[in-house]
């Protein structure tokens, strides 16, 4: 994309700040906007009528939200940490994308990668044990991918709803990993991976 294209994009972007805990997409609402997160972390989730919740992913800097074709959002979104984002009117973005093949291509790449991540998560939810899920989660949250320190900005409830478990199981599993010397828990929101290789063995079910 050239500079002129970026300028056109910037012209229709509405920058916004979302404070912690605020929802900015409601599942089922008319899908009028498209979002690009520029800072912070948001959780994306689906709900059952009785309140059960599945967090389908955490979106942070660079993530695109709302590219579904449907007229309504298929998921809700809420800030876990204060979020900065750019909002785009879908019809306006649509006309812009239509003569920016590079943008379309980029979106297809993004969607493809998310699809791969979604399949990995299905494997986790359908076939992994609680220990394997937590180990996988900790490894996946490393940034950079070799870092020993992992920060968990989301609450236990969110981790539980992401991994298809309860907060009690998350808590017990983390404690057990600590007792086994695989991790350290300097604070509830910080984890130090003491044995990444061991965690990886666990995460891939080889233990």
Partner DNA sequence: CGTGTATTTGACTTTGTTCAACACGCGTGG
Partner DNA sequence: CCACGCGTGTTGAACAAAGTCAAATACACG
- Residues near DNA (CB under 7 A) are 129-131, 155-157, 164-172, 174-175, 185, 187-189
Q: Which DSSP state fits 71? A: S
Q: Closest separation between CB of residue 186 and DNA, Å?
A: 9
Cβ contacts of 38 within 8 Å, gap of 6 or more = 15, 61, 84, 85, 86
Q: How far is the CB of 109 from a second copy (least distance, A)?
A: 5
Residue 52 Cβ vs a second copy, minimum distance, rounded to whole Å: 5
CA distance 192 to 186: 8
How many Cα atoms sit within 13 Å of 184 on the Cβ side? 5
Using CB under 8 A, which of 33, 42, 43, 56 touches a second copy? 56
Q: Can residue 122 be called a binding residue for a second copy (CB under 8 A)?
A: yes
| Helical ranges in the chain per DSSP H | 3-12, 90-98, 101-127, 130-140, 156-163, 167-179, 196-203
121, interface contact from DNA, a second copy, none, CB < 5-8 Å by kind: a second copy
Residue 111 beta carbon to a second copy: minimum distance, rounded to whole angstroms: 4
CA geometry: angle at 51 spanning 50 and 55, to 5°?
Answer: 135
> Which residue from 11, 48, 146, 197 is in contact with a second copy, where contact means CB under 8 A?
48
Stretch 74-113 residues interacting with a second copy (CB under 8 A): 74-75, 98, 101, 104-105, 107-109, 111-113
CA atoms in the 13 A half-sphere facing the CB of 84 = 4
CA–CA gap between residue 186 and residue 174 (Å, rounded): 12
Stretch that binds a second copy, among 10-18, 158-166, 171-179, 184-192 (CB under 8 A): 158-166
For a second copy, the binding residues in 164-203 under the rule CB under 8 A are 164
- Residue 84, strand partner residues: 17, 39
The entry of a second copy, DNA, none that residue 72 binds, CB within 5 to 8 Å by partner kind: none
d(CA 125, CA 84): 30
Number of residues located near a second copy, criterion CB under 8 A: 44
Length of the chain: 207
- Shortest distance, position 200 Cβ to DNA, whole Å: 18
Binding residues for a second copy (CB under 8 A) = 44, 46, 48-50, 52-54, 56, 67-70, 74-75, 98, 101, 104-105, 107-109, 111-116, 118-123, 125-128, 161, 163-164, 204-206
């Amino acid at each position: 994309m050239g500079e002129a294209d970026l300028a056109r994009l910037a012209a229709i972007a509405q920058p916004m700040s979302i404070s912690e805990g605020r929802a900015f997409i409601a599942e089922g609402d008319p899908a009028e906007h498209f979002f690009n997160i520029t800072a912070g972390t948001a959780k994306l989730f689906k709900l059952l009528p009785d309140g059960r919740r599945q967090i389908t992913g955490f979106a942070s800097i660079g993530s695109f939200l709302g590219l579904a074709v449907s007229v309504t959002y298929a998921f809700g979104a809420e800030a876990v940490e204060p979020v900065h984002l750019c909002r785009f009117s879908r019809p306006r973005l649509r006309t812009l994308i239509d003569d920016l093949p590079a943008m379309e291509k980029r979106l297809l790449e993004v969607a493809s990668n998310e699809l791969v991540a979604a399949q990995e998560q299905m494997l986790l939810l359908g076939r992994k044990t609680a220990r394997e899920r937590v180990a996988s989660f900790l490894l996946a949250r490393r940034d950079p991918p070799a870092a020993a320190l992992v920060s968990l900005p989301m609450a236990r409830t969110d981790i539980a709803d992401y991994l298809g478990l309860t907060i009690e199981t998350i808590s017990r599993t983390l404690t057990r990993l600590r007792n086994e010397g695989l991790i350290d828990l300097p604070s509830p929101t910080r984890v130090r991976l003491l044995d990444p290789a061991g965690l990886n063995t666990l995460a891939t079910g080889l233990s």
